[in-house]
Structure 1
Amino acid sequence: MIYRYEDESPLNLAVHKLFEVIISIEKYPEFIPWCAAVNIVRKSHCKIIADVIASFKGIKGKYTCEVTFNLPSIQQNCLIEVRAVQGLFKYLHNVWELTPQDENRTIVKFFIEFEFKSPLFQKMFGIAYKHAQKKIISAFKKRIYLLT
């Protein structure tokens, strides 16, 4: 089963501050539910390869993701795109689109679509799917406001 979730929110923050929270994936275990560990494998100007360990109800799984992005500016949208390249997911595609409205206001569009390889993860996560996604988005918003 393929899961999808979308969210769009206006936030009273500068695009570069939002970008920093989203792109600092090595800090995700500090505030994202079910993210147990992140190891940056390779990082360049506009690409990150990372190994992520997810833990849900005592069951752990690992996946490698490729994160591509363009740097934020007040003149153009910033896109951060994440794809799983091996591991826990059969398929994972995640996009953050940050659209600056002015110096201190940004529209944030979030999209994720994924399917687990493991029937166990699929079953366990499926029960609480919408709640889990809302909790993750809420964790990002809380982190953003705590750091600003």
Structure 2
Amino acid sequence: MFDLVTDVDDYPKFLPWCGGIEIRHRDDTSMEARIDINFKGIKQHFATRNSMERPTRIDMEFADGPFRKFTGFWRFTPLRADACKIEFALHYEFTSILLEKIIGPVFNHIANTFVESFVKRANQRYGQS
């Protein structure tokens, strides 16, 4: 699952709201990427700087976009050779009340369906365990 989450180039293929990806930096322990949102007429982008410890964690912090604050993490705890427990948390505040009203519902939908989208993609790619 760690590899699936860090394969951001693949996001437009299975995240219906993802309009594109720009990798700004990537190495074995960090990545900065911009994600374009194109969903229900709303177009926006945001970028995160991620620190990574393969295969157990990804920590995200705000790089740029419509947020005042943005932090999050993924945690992957092995259960069996072919399964893991996934923990995902995201905390964010938009830069203005207007952006919250316009983009908030779209971003809330994205955040609430994020893990489910990755589980579906893992089942497509690796088969269901």
TM-score by length of 1: 0.74
User: Which segment drifts farther, 81-90 or 116-125?
Assistant: 116-125
Aligned partner (choices 95, 107, 114) of residue 73 of structure 2: 95
Provide structure 2 residue ranges, at least 5 long, that are not aligned to the other structure. Answer: none
Identity in percent: 25
- Matches of 1:35 and 1:118 in 2, distance apart? 23
Provide structure 1 residue ranges, at least 5 long, that are not aligned to the other structure. Answer: 1-17, 73-77
What displacement does 1:19 show? 0.9
RMSD, matched Cα: 2.0
Aligned partner (choices 40, 57, 62) of residue 40 of structure 2: 57
Aligned partner (choices 13, 38, 43) of residue 30 of structure 1: 13
Superposed, which structure 2 residues align to 1:36-115 within 5 Å? 36-72=19-55, 78-115=56-93
Q: Which residue in the other structure is 2:122 paired with? A: 144
Cα pair distance change 1:136/1:33, threshold 3 Å: farther
* Greater fraction of residues in helix: 2
What displacement does 1:33 show? 3.3
Cα pair distance change 1:93/1:40, threshold 3 Å: same
Cα pair distance change 1:120/1:27, threshold 3 Å: farther
Give CA deviations for 1:25-77 in whole Å, capped at 9, x if unaligned: 121121123221111111111101112211232121222211111112xxxxx
- Matches of 2:113 and 2:91 in 1, distance apart? 16
What displacement does 1:98 show? 0.3
TM-score by length of 2: 0.84
Cα pair distance change 1:120/1:137, threshold 3 Å: farther
Query: Residue 26 of structure 1 aligns to a residue in which SS?
Result: helix
